[in-house]
Each structure stands twice: as structure tokens, then as C-alpha cells.
Amino acid sequence: MAKDSTDVRELARDLWRWERRHPEWHPGEFGATVGSYLIRTEGVTLLIDPLVDGEADPLLETLDSLVEGSIRILISIPYHARSAELFQRRYQGRDARILGHALVAKRLADTAGFQALTGGEDIERVVRVHRIGRPVRAELPIEIPSQRALVFGDAIVEHEGALRLWESPVVKESRRRWYEERFLPTMRLLTELDVDRILVTHGRPVLKDGRAALVEALDRGPWQPPPVGGRRVVARDPISG
């Protein structure tokens, strides 16, 4: 990804990605930047986990030139609601709405344009939202059928050329049972979807053979980022939002 502050990279027809510095969490090289996506499909523009450096970010003008039709701002995990309201205000004349897990509402100043999702929804026939975990997590993987793409917030990341399942180590027997019986099966269901692209917010997206890359990630088992300053970076509780 180019370092130009106005850079929005076109990954495929009607699919763009950009990166911004993580505003809150600076653990080291991994996680230092966050990827966001703009997708046009069936007269709707999808902004997925959009992050910019405030109202003065020069990248906004580039995004303005790309949006078409109505705007749906999709939040994959409550932590990623960061710039959602900025975009809703900017595109209020385009029927801009924010959609995500109910816990996203806690991070919004005004919930008038917010729609809570539980997973399982087919939104306007352009987006499908899926559940993971038992109990169900606050992260909702987002499927975009027109792109044969599946978007993950934190559960799946890319590191050193491979997709990884970001999850705490499975050490205790009780956790092993939870992982194998209640969590992993829900992730494997996603490998049955007709997807070819895995779009992640941490690391580089997979634009070809994504389903196979996802299967390999799950087969590798739980992964955590390398230690920073001698301390292990652990995944935050996805239920807490």
C-alpha cells in the first residue's frame, strides 16, 4: 500500500481499499494500520469499517469521487465504528445508514441512522451478514456476493503472507473443548460460502483462492501477533464491543 495520504487502491472493478494509522492501538508493526473498503454494487456504495484522519483528511475527496447511489456504512466489529458517523454526516443526502452489531450503538453519539444486526441478514440483496461463535460474537463477517468476497474485522488477519485465525492460545482442557466444539465449527461454516476474496482490516487482503486460504488458516489453529517489548499482544474480548 502506497504511503501517499490520498491513496485509495483499486483492487478490482468496483472494489477499493485504503489504510490509516490505528487511532487507539499501537502494539508494533502488526496492527499499526487498519484497512478500510469501498465497494459499489447494484446502485449502492458500501463503506466497510471506514477510517479516516478526521474531516480534513485529503483522502475524503477521493472517496467523494467514487461513491454512487445510496450509502451503507457496514461495521464488522464494534471497535471499528471509529469514523462511521463522520461518513454518515458527509453523505447524509445519499441516505447514509450505519449497520452493525447492537454494541456499535454504544460508540455512536446519535443512533437515529443506525440499524442493529444480529447476523443472518440479507441486506438489500447486496450484503449478507454472518454469525460466528457460540455464544455469538459481536464480530459479524460481511459477505459481498457481487465480489465473491468475505470481510473480517479481527477474527481473520493476514501476517507474513498467510491468513491467520487471531485467537488466544488453547491451553486448558475447557478452552480446548470450547474452541473445537463451539467456535471453530462456526468458522468452518464460512468456508462453504461461494467466496474467492478474503478482505481483512489487518494485513493484506487475499484476492484469489480466498476460500482455500481461509481453510488453511483454520487448519493452522489459533494465532497471536509476535510479542512487542517482551509482552504478548492478546486479542480483545469480542463480546465486549
Model confidence at 227, in pLDDT bands (50, 70, 90)? Answer: confident
User: Burial, 14: exposed, middle or buried (Cβ in 10 Å; 0-12, 13-18, 19+)?
Assistant: middle
Q: What is the pLDDT of residue 25?
A: 62
Q: Which residue has the higher pLDDT, 20 or 232?
A: 20
How does pLDDT run across 54-92, given as a tens digit for each residue? 999 999 999 999 999 999 999 999 999 999 999 999 999
Model confidence at 240, in pLDDT bands (50, 70, 90)? Answer: very low
Q: What is the pLDDT of residue 151?
A: 98
Q: Three cell numbers at 227?
A: 510479542
Q: Residue 4 above 90 pLDDT? A: no
Model confidence at 28, in pLDDT bands (50, 70, 90)? Answer: low
The amino acid present at 102, given as its one-letter code, is A
Q: Three cell numbers at 126?
A: 447486496
Percentage of the chain with pLDDT > 90? 83
How does pLDDT run across 104-146, given as a tens digit for each residue? 999 999 999 999 999 999 999 999 999 999 999 999 999 999 9
How does pLDDT run across 208-219, given as a tens digit for each residue? 999 999 999 999
> What predicted TM-score, i.e. pTM, was given to this entire model?
0.91
DSSP for the chain, please give it.
Answer: ----TT--EEEETTEEEEEEE-SS---SSTTSEEEEEEEEETTEEEEES---SSTT-THHHHHHHH--SEEEEE-SSGGG-TTHHHHHHHTGGGT-EEEEEGGGGGG-S--TTEEEE-S--EETTTEEE---TTTTPS---EEEGGGTEEEESSSEEEETTEEEEE-----SHHHHHHIIIIIHHHHHHGGGS--SEEEESSSPPB-SSHHHHHHHHHHH-EE-PPPBTTBPPPPP-TTT-
Q: What is the pLDDT of residue 215?
A: 98
CA distance 50 to 106: 17
CA distance 152 to 204: 12
CA distance 184 to 171: 15
Q: What is the pLDDT of residue 34?
A: 92
Contact in structure between 39 and 48 (CB atoms under 8 Å): yes
Q: What is the CA radius of gyration of the chain?
A: 17
Q: Residue 236 above 80 pLDDT? A: no
**Which CATH superfamily does the domain covering 9-223 fall into?**
Ribonuclease Z/Hydroxyacylglutathione hydrolase-like (3.60.15.10)
Model confidence at 232, in pLDDT bands (50, 70, 90)? Answer: low
Q: How many CB atoms lie within 10 A of CB 236?
A: 13
Q: Residue 31 above 70 pLDDT? A: no
Percentage of the chain with pLDDT > 70? 88
CA distance 228 to 65: 39
Q: How many CB atoms lie within 10 A of CB 193?
A: 18
CB-hemisphere CA count at 13 Å for 93?
A: 4
Q: What is the pLDDT of residue 235?
A: 55
Q: What is the pLDDT of residue 3?
A: 42
CA distance 73 to 95: 11
Q: What is the pLDDT of residue 2?
A: 38
Q: What is the mean pLDDT of the chain?
A: 91
